[in-house]
Structure 1
Amino acid sequence: MGLFGLFGSGNVGNDGSLVAVLDQLRADRPDAEVDALCGGPETVTARYGIPASRLHWFRGEYRTAARPADIAGKGFGKLVDAFRIAAWVRRHDVVIVPGTGILESTLPLRPWGMPYSLFLVCAAGRLLRTPVALVGVGASGTRSRPVRTLIRWAARLAAYRSYRDTLSRDALREMGVNTRRDEVYADLVFALATPPSGSDSGPPGPVCVGVMDFGGSNDERDRADELRRRYLDGMTRFVRGLAAEGRPVRLLTGDDVDRTVAEAILEAVDSPLVVAAATASLGDLMKEMAVADTVVATRYHNLVCALKVGTPALAVSYAAKSDRLMADMGLGEHCHPAREIDADRLLEQFRALERDRARVRRTLAERNPVLAERVRRQFEALNALLPASGGAPDLARQETP
């Protein structure tokens, strides 16, 4: 079996989705041979113990192509990748794309990046009769015609699709994908083990603030610098306000690119009460959040971690998926727009959340088992479709493009 995605590249949410499916495969199919095609193969092999291959032939894929040699290398690499990906797909009985927002454009992306790579995987799967399963994925609409076209065809060519929320299924339906037989479950991360949580007794504890290198969506590239400045200014003033009230703050990130934001806030606030926590995985994030009084988070999977461990959370929301998740967890009123951060208003919302902390913890304790059960049903459905030992996968519901 092959696992495909941007794993090992510094985004702990993506890696969390990989771990959730990998743990399940090891439990249900201990004899299965599993490998990955991903962004950071060395990291994936070292951390998760499976063979992994590099997604892109051109090693400078993630660098801005300024020199003619880089431009030529990227262009030639796209042609080479078509053959490399097809050869990788051919070696497997089934390819699984585990979770993540792989069909989203809520953050900047180029059509010849992940949309193109995913299309190649799904097209190769159809041509070579290797089923490709999109399991618990996220999706969103976009005004970019090339991105929309590649996402639509990748989804159409997949043998199986399921989603982490109804927004994702609706987005693909609006793109022209027949989703009538597709199911909605929950984010795969809700299957991960949860560390013990804190309590509401004792003096005020730390506040975890998850920050992000946020510059808008793929459709807002012309405003990226403005949105980035506005976000950083708003979060800095918010953290400064917490420190002024004597609250210890632990800054958290969800991707390597977020570290510059955390460093900028540390420098600007310049308080011994504010520190940046070292978190290399979703497990690390959950441990931090489990002992916090409150979490204020921007990245989607930072938010998922807070809710999963039962810590009251306030979403600095940059996409509809965060608003929907908070509503599903009974916390729809505890959201603040990432594009228009009002530090004073955010502090007011934070204080209101803290006053309501006991009720919120009870609500999360009720909702978490529901989402965990949805993921369990997702894994049951996936397990029923995967090949038995020596058999063929039962993923034969591919639609005609």
Structure 2
Amino acid sequence: MNPMDEKPLHVGVFGLFGAGNSGNDGSLEAVLDHLRAARPDAVLDAMCGGPEVVATRYGVPATRLNWYRGEYRTASRVGAITGKALGKLVDVFRTAAWVRRHDAVIVPGTGVLETTLPLRPWGFPYSLFLLCLTGRLLGTRVALVSVGAGAIGNRPTRVLTRWSTRLAAYRSYRDAQSRDAMRAMGVDTARDEVYADLVFALPAPSAAEPAGNRGPVCVGVMDFHGSNDERELAEEIHGRYLDGATRFVRALAEEGRLVRLLTGDELDRPVADAIVDAVGSPLVTVAEAASLADLMKETACADSVVATRYHNLVCALKVGTPTLALSYSAKSDALMAEMGMGAYCHPAREAEADRLLEQFRELERRSAEVRRVLIERNLVVARRVEQQFAALAAALFPPADHIHAQRETP
């Protein structure tokens, strides 16, 4: 067969990208960077939540994830309810048509198999199920790559998630507890591997060397209302979290510390603004960080970080800055333990300012030791991400002679 007649490899990426969550976008960026370096011949595109943002920022054609544009808004009127219902049917055919055009589709990282935040089964769990089902029916290999997973209480969501995972051609997880969660849900994980979060593949600035004057403290905040199974307690949980975070930031400001508030999603900005207003100190400001690269720059310049969102933690740990997790789920605890920081976790649901300050001061006392530990752990994690990409290539992109043989078969 003439090499000039070979069809290019078509690879799609699928997920809630371009919708205001920097962690999701960072996972997309890591996979696109890898594909462009390893498979420069591949034709790439995306099916995602914010196609205009993805197309502009990452330079790939993008298709909207849902036909109905109000998919993630609460539907109360008849027109909206009808639109959502019709959209579910239309999305079956839209997803199948998109999947058919690809040799492989990658779902890169993020917590696509968990419900640590409020989530309806007919939202993204349904979209993921359609992807994996049509991939299996149409012969397109779907890969769930270094994804997060967790126990799911809601039965419809659990069923959709279990079948999505079973139908995928390739699965790997960002931590062992994610694989354990899927095994407990009845998925055969015997051949599934654990690697690391894909964001660890992104380039990062070096952590700033400690200087004579104290640097800022970065405090990552979140629009936290509990998990999908805690909807009835959502406002109580949010109020307790916001009060604890505000008291902690106020205590730092009263000590004369500069505080930079970080966010990880557009939904977090009102929380940051509320803390600034409540503390009322010029020492407390909100960082304008639109991407994980921006977050890494902020955390690299900090003396220490206290953060809630999972990928705020990843950014801080990756650049080697001493970090305390205001943890809202087991995935944060697992990440901190993996990076040698297991002693520095505080539950977001019980944000208690005095105890948080005690842990923070202990972290700062051990800053030099912690930085050395993080350098060592980052080397280990970087190797695991490289292993993930090698395993993905072997699973999805067989040797060229095998591809040619398949394409030459009548």
TM-score bracket for the superposition, by shorter chain length = over 0.9
- The reply to whether residue 34 of structure 1 matches residue 44 of structure 2 is yes
SS in 2 for 1:141: coil
SS in 2 for 1:222: helix
Deviation per CA, 1:316-367, whole angstroms, max 9, x where unpaired? 0000011111111111110100000110111111111000000000000110
SS in 2 for 1:57: coil
Indicate the percent of aligned positions where both proteins have the same amino acid. 70
Match of residue 313 from structure 2: 303
Of 341, 347, 360, the residue aligned with 1:337 is 347
Tell me the distance in 2 between the aligned counterparts of 1:81 and 1:390. Answer: 34
Aligned residue identity for 2:122: W
Tell me the distance in 2 between the aligned counterparts of 1:274 and 1:249. Answer: 5
Deviation per CA, 1:380-400, whole angstroms, max 9, x where unpaired? 11112233687777xxxxxxx
Of 36, 46, 49, the residue aligned with 2:56 is 46
Aligned residue identity for 1:347: L
Tell me the distance in 1 between the aligned counterparts of 2:46 and 2:285. Answer: 35
Consecutive unaligned residues of structure 1, counting only runs of 5 or more, are 394-401
Match of residue 394 from structure 2: 384
Report the alpha carbon displacement of residue 196 of structure 1 after superposing the two structures with TM: 1.9
Match of residue 117 from structure 1: 127
CA gap of 1:389–1:43, structure 2 versus 1, over 3 A, is: farther
Please give the residue correspondences for 1:89-108 in structure 2 after superposition, counting only pairs within 5 Å: 89-108=99-118
Tell me the distance in 2 between the aligned counterparts of 1:222 and 1:72. Answer: 26
Aligned residue identity for 1:103: L
Tell me the distance in 2 between the aligned counterparts of 1:17 and 1:92. Answer: 20
Please give the residue correspondences for 1:165-314 in structure 2 after superposition, counting only pairs within 5 Å: 165-314=175-324
Tell me the distance in 2 between the aligned counterparts of 1:389 and 1:281. Answer: 35
- Asked whether the 8 Å contact 1:253–1:262 carries over to 2, the reply is yes
- The reply to whether residue 127 of structure 1 matches residue 107 of structure 2 is no
Aligned residue identity for 1:124: T
TM-score (norm 1): 0.97
Match of residue 34 from structure 2: 24
Bigger shift: residues 113-122 or 191-200: 191-200
Bigger shift: residues 329-338 or 194-203: 194-203
Match of residue 20 from structure 2: 10
Aligned residue identity for 2:366: D
- Asked whether the 8 Å contact 1:93–1:392 carries over to 2, the reply is no
Tell me the distance in 2 between the aligned counterparts of 1:302 and 1:79. Answer: 37
Aligned residue identity for 1:328: E
Deviation per CA, 1:156-195, whole angstroms, max 9, x where unpaired? 0000000000010000000000000000000011111011
Tell me the distance in 2 between the aligned counterparts of 1:160 and 1:392. Answer: 19
Aligned residue identity for 1:147: T
Aligned residue identity for 1:312: P
Bigger shift: residues 162-171 or 200-209: 200-209
SS in 2 for 1:34: strand
- Asked whether the 8 Å contact 1:195–1:287 carries over to 2, the reply is yes
Tell me the distance in 2 between the aligned counterparts of 1:104 and 1:114. Answer: 11
Please tell me the root mean square deviation across aligned C-alpha atoms, in Å: 1.3
Report the alpha carbon displacement of residue 63 of structure 1 after superposing the two structures with TM: 1.5
Tell me the distance in 2 between the aligned counterparts of 1:391 and 1:2. Answer: 22
Tell me the distance in 2 between the aligned counterparts of 1:229 and 1:156. Answer: 39
Aligned residue identity for 2:108: P
Tell me the distance in 2 between the aligned counterparts of 1:368 and 1:39. Answer: 31
Match of residue 5 from structure 2: none
Aligned residue identity for 2:78: P
SS in 1 for 2:172: strand
Tell me the distance in 1 between the aligned counterparts of 2:295 and 2:303. Answer: 14
Report the alpha carbon displacement of residue 31 of structure 1 after superposing the two structures with TM: 1.1
SS in 2 for 1:56: coil
Tell me the distance in 2 between the aligned counterparts of 1:210 and 1:226. Answer: 20
Of 350, 353, 366, the residue aligned with 2:360 is 350
Deviation per CA, 1:298-328, whole angstroms, max 9, x where unpaired? 0000000000000000000000011111111
- Asked whether the 8 Å contact 1:139–1:168 carries over to 2, the reply is yes
Report the alpha carbon displacement of residue 200 of structure 1 after superposing the two structures with TM: 2.2
Report the alpha carbon displacement of residue 202 of structure 1 after superposing the two structures with TM: 1.4
- Asked whether the 8 Å contact 2:148–2:178 carries over to 1, the reply is yes
SS in 1 for 2:43: coil
Aligned residue identity for 1:119: F
SS in 1 for 2:306: strand
- Asked whether the 8 Å contact 2:170–2:395 carries over to 1, the reply is no
Report the alpha carbon displacement of residue 220 of structure 1 after superposing the two structures with TM: 0.6
Structure 1 segments (4+ residues) deviating >2 Å: 385-393
Consecutive unaligned residues of structure 2, counting only runs of 5 or more, are 1-10, 404-410
Report the alpha carbon displacement of residue 152 of structure 1 after superposing the two structures with TM: 0.2
Tell me the distance in 1 between the aligned counterparts of 2:186 and 2:219. Answer: 38
Deviation per CA, 1:233-274, whole angstroms, max 9, x where unpaired? 110111001000000000000000000100100111110000
Match of residue 157 from structure 1: 167
